[in-house]
Amino acid sequence: MPTERTSIHGQWSNRLAFILAATGSAVGLGNIWKFPYIAGENGGGAFVLVYLLCIAVIGIPIMMAEVMLGRRGRQSPINTMRTLAYEEKVSPAWRWLGWAGVLAGFLILSYYSVIAGWALAYVFRAGSGLFTGLTADGVQSIFSNLVDEPERLLAWHTIFMVMTMIIVGRGVRSGLERAVRLLMPALFVLLLVLVGYAWNTDAFDQGLEFLFTPDFGAITANGVLIAMGHAFFTLSLGMGAIMVYGSYLPDNASIAKTSVTVSLMDTTVALLAGMAIFPIVFANGLEPGAGPGLIFQTLPIAFGHMDGGAFFGMLFFLLLVFAAWTSAISLIEPAVAWLVENHGMSRIYAAALAGMVTWGTGLLTVFSFNLWADFKPLGMFAVFEGYTIFDLLDYLTANIMLPLGGLLIAVFAAWQMRRESSVEELAMGDGFLYGLWRMLVRYITPVAVIIVFLHAIGVL
């Protein structure tokens, strides 16, 4: 029998609601903004292959582990880890894993919100018909005009943070469930429209080849780390976001099926984004390694040349904002749930407090694109050559904190928790599939993460 615990924050109406919320968390800027540009920077095909492999053998099993821990603990990740460590009679120090997740979520949201601000700004730029007929150069200068101005970035960042805090303050269930149900399919359809446009460019084959033909010479040890880090980032793993969503999951829902469904949807969206973007990159003589501005410098070309482009462009960026929004709330939910549980705060108050701290940290990213664009704090190390504060924040969180968090989650779920506990909570019997999951989480994930880390720092 599962534990009798219930969450004080409420519960999803059913399994579908959880799938939608978890997909809402997973599908975000990571799929549409980040995946294409890091794939572009790391040579394409081989990077994509490593990423897909990481999703399958690390991502899905870790997602199951996180949902399982969350549902069993039924509290914020910090308190869940404390409770489970107590029940499993292991060190209370495991609660620090919850804390590390809160810190990672807060750091990620600080820059995530700035980029989501770009998407917000583009809703209006697209809607006003600004992109009509533009060439690559024109689109590039619209992008620079935006990011060169700290005040502008700050304003959009502020608006996005306020939007996020309002939803978090209202609670996970009201509003959120319904919004995701409608917006996710719409985003999917719009991506298909863009792939359709890309198909008609004369570089569709070249784009696909770049994305799907592995050239192992083009990837470095650091590139492998980035691919693995991105598998965690894109599935929202390693920091408690999926754990806290799991804590609102009804007892009778299948953890394995939901995790596989969410991961498949997330991967499909990323691949579609890549298939839309790279043909446009090549058809217009752009650079696949252009960096964080990639989608903002490519998609407007497509919108500027298709019928009804102003409308579709506006709709696309609006949906991107929604995708970012449903991810952003999950980044801060672990902290907010903890403030409510341990400090008796109302959700509104907790959200405002967490939001203000995150907003302030976001200034580091805002200035990374203009005033401090030439400040490269770790430029003396070869790997970090040319990294701004924003690049470093992203590297630290996605490539180090999330995989490390995932590694520890794996160790807890498969080495510290009793086998009976995980058999009971996963509720998929004790047969082949359970054995496969346990083997992956017990051996493959920790070993893979450690090997990739060691490679990246040059020890192996």
- Residues within the interface to ligand PFF (CB under 6 A): 25-26, 28-31, 105, 108, 233-234, 236, 239, 241, 327, 330-331
Query: In this complex, which beta carbon is closest to ligand PFF, that of residue 169 or of residue 405?
Result: 405
Min dist. Cβ of residue 300 to ligand PFF (A)? 21
Min dist. Cβ of residue 104 to ligand PFF (A)? 7
Burial of 255 (C-beta count, 10 Å sphere; 0-12/13-18/19+): buried
If one counts every other C-beta atom within 10 angstroms of the C-beta of residue 359, the result is 20
Query: In this complex, which beta carbon is closest to ligand PFF, that of residue 324 or of residue 350?
Result: 324
* Residue 151: HSE in the Cβ half-sphere, 13 Å Cα cutoff: 0
If one counts every other C-beta atom within 10 angstroms of the C-beta of residue 287, the result is 12
Query: E strand or H helix at 268, and its extent?
Result: helix 255-283
Query: In this complex, which beta carbon is closest to ligand PFF, that of residue 111 or of residue 369?
Result: 111
Sign of CA pseudo-dihedral 117, 122, 125, 127: negative
User: What CA–CA distance (Å, rounded) separates 305 from 24?
Assistant: 30
Query: In this complex, which beta carbon is closest to ligand PFF, that of residue 115 or of residue 283?
Result: 115
User: What CA–CA distance (Å, rounded) separates 281 from 295?
Assistant: 9
Candidates 27, 110, 21; CA nearest to 397 is 110
Q: What is the dihedral of CA 325, 267, 20, 352, to 10 degrees?
A: -20
State how far Cα 133 lies from the chain centre: 33
Query: In this complex, which beta carbon is closest to ligand PFF, that of residue 203 or of residue 270?
Result: 270
Min dist. Cβ of residue 420 to ligand PFF (A)? 29
User: What CA–CA distance (Å, rounded) separates 102 from 411?
Assistant: 19
Query: In this complex, which beta carbon is closest to ligand PFF, that of residue 129 or of residue 171?
Result: 171
Phi/psi of residue 457, nearest 5 degrees: -90, 5
Min dist. Cβ of residue 89 to ligand PFF (A)? 29
Query: Which residue do the tokens 């784009």 mark?
Result: 207
If one counts every other C-beta atom within 10 angstroms of the C-beta of residue 197, the result is 21
Give the nearest residue (CB) to ligand PFF: 30
Min dist. Cβ of residue 112 to ligand PFF (A)? 7
Query: In this complex, which beta carbon is closest to ligand PFF, that of residue 33 or of residue 312?
Result: 33
Min dist. Cβ of residue 235 to ligand PFF (A)? 6
Min dist. Cβ of residue 335 to ligand PFF (A)? 11
Query: E strand or H helix at 29, and its extent?
Result: helix 29-29
Min dist. Cβ of residue 286 to ligand PFF (A)? 23
* Residue 113: HSE in the Cβ half-sphere, 13 Å Cα cutoff: 34
Question: Which amino acid, residue 354?
Answer: A
Query: In this complex, which beta carbon is closest to ligand PFF, that of residue 41 or of residue 283?
Result: 41
Query: In this complex, which beta carbon is closest to ligand PFF, that of residue 35 or of residue 359?
Result: 35
Query: In this complex, which beta carbon is closest to ligand PFF, that of residue 84 or of residue 243?
Result: 243
Min dist. Cβ of residue 361 to ligand PFF (A)? 16
Min dist. Cβ of residue 219 to ligand PFF (A)? 21
Dig out the tokens for 197 from the structure.
């446009």
Query: In this complex, which beta carbon is closest to ligand PFF, that of residue 241 or of residue 275?
Result: 241
- Number of residues that this document lists for the chain: 460
Whole-angstrom CA distances from 245 to 99, 109, 313, 347, 424 are: 16, 17, 32, 16, 19
Dig out the tokens for 220 from the structure.
């470095």
Min dist. Cβ of residue 331 to ligand PFF (A)? 5
Whole-angstrom CA distances from 75 to 248, 298, 336 are: 9, 42, 11
User: What CA–CA distance (Å, rounded) separates 422 from 412?
Assistant: 11
CB 400 within 8 A of CB 232: no
Query: In this complex, which beta carbon is closest to ligand PFF, that of residue 31 or of residue 164?
Result: 31
